[in-house]
Amino acid sequence: MSVRSLAGLLPLYTEGLLSPSATTPAMTSQIQDSVVLKEDTVCTAALQEEGAPQPVSKRQLKKLQRQKQWEEQRELRKIKRKEKRQKRKLERQSQTEANVCSDSRKRIRRDVVPSTLRLFIDCSFDNLMASKDVKKLHKQIQRCYSENRRAMHPVQFHLTSHGGQLKQNMEEHDKGWINWKDIHFQSEHYMKVAKPEDLIYLTSDSPDVLEELDETKAYVIGGLVDHNHHKGITYRQALEHGIRHAQLPLGSFVKMNSRKVLAVNHVFEIILAYLEKKDWKEAFFSVLPQRKGAVPLEGEVVTSKKHSGEEEDKEDEDLESDSSVDETTEL
Ligand SMILES: C[S@@+](CC[C@H](N)C(=O)[O-])C[C@H]1O[C@@H](n2cnc3c(N)ncnc32)[C@H](O)[C@@H]1O
């Protein structure tokens, strides 16, 4: 840089009007050298002529110090910029991964194929239940609803004979039920909702054992929490209405500690699991809590076994009022 141009920049520099970005490092260093030279000269002159005013003010000196510091921290800033870039890169990467995950979840939702199978919960036993059991039934229904919403093959879910204590309980404790999707609330009895020839009542008291699920049919679960006080009530109903009935093939695959009367939500979930897995044993064990004593029958697979009198007397209160139904997740 010529002496002339340096002389032009020098006053600007000492006044702090020259931005660091407007100069190259070489220029800055040349200017700084000149400032130091000039300072020395001025200071020497000041010493020589005692009492003469100081030409370099403290403010200017401070500015110079700041400038020097700015130059010294150049490397540090470079490192910081690099760190920031890396952080942004990592953030972008994790964002992309999160998008991939949500895409795969969407893909799973897209893979959902609703079943044509109709599954009814028959709520016509409302007046046989004490209010605490109505509350339990409500929770079991909530569980059925949320499981159906997340199932790979959701069923056509109906609540028939919906009214009375149950409806009142739902209105008092779960106002959101009115907005539930993919469920039919019907005050009519199931006999008015489907053709008799399409109906199969699921009941542990039936001598017939379910082997397959027919997706053109309507299966009925008794909406009842009765601690088996009304033993055989759903079986008798099925006989009265002249419709088919069947028990789940539990005895063929599962050795149970106690009775084979399951809670509403367990029966519902077993049906959903079977639609997905097409395997009763897998369906039972994915739903039934093993702590309740459900153990697979080793080696033997018994089919279409008749229900023995011995089993009829067994009862498992625990399964009916299983605490897992309290973990209802609303969707
Ligand atoms: C707690 S149980 C009610 C028991 C009631 N005493 C009865 O006679 O059905 C609830 C409902 O789940 C269904 N269920 C329970 N265990 C079953 C099994 N082993 N096979 C088929 N359905 C079953 C029946 O529809 C039953 O009404």
CA of 249 to the centre of ligand 1 (A): 13
CA of 89 to the centre of ligand 1 (A): 57
DSSP letters spanning 307-321: PPHHHHT---HHHHT
In the block, tokens 């069947």 appear at 246
Provide the pLDDT for residue 12: 54
Q: Which atom of ligand 1 is nearest to the CA of 248?
A: 20
Pairwise CA distance, residues 42 & 44, whole Å: 5
**Positive/negative CA dihedral, 36, 38, 42, 45:** positive
Pairwise CA distance, residues 41 & 47, whole Å: 10
Q: How many residues does the chain have?
A: 331
Angle at 158 between CA 153 and CA 160, to 5 degrees: 160
What the block records as the tokens of 69 is 């510091």
Give the predicted TM-score (pTM) of the model.
0.64
Report yes or no: 245 and 200 within 8 Å, Cβ to Cβ: yes
Whose C-alpha lies nearest to ligand 1, atom 19? Answer: 204
Whose C-alpha lies nearest to ligand 1, atom 12? Answer: 264
CA of 202 to the centre of ligand 1 (A): 7
Active-site residue numbers? 226
CA of 177 to the centre of ligand 1 (A): 24
Report yes or no: 141 and 121 within 8 Å, Cβ to Cβ: yes
pLDDT, tens digit, 9 for 90 and up, residues 115-138: 999 999 999 999 999 999 999 999
Give the model's confidence band at 305: pLDDT under 50 very low, under 70 low, under 90 confident, else very high: very low
pLDDT, tens digit, 9 for 90 and up, residues 8-67: 555 555 555 555 555 565 555 555 555 444 544 444 444 444 555 567 788 888 999 999
Using CB distances shorter than 6 Å, the residues near ligand 1 are: 202-204, 221-222, 224, 226, 228, 230-234, 247-248, 250, 260-264, 267, 320
Mean pLDDT of 92-97: 74
- Say if residue 99's pLDDT is above 90: no
- Say if residue 2's pLDDT is above 80: no
AA identity, residue 222: G
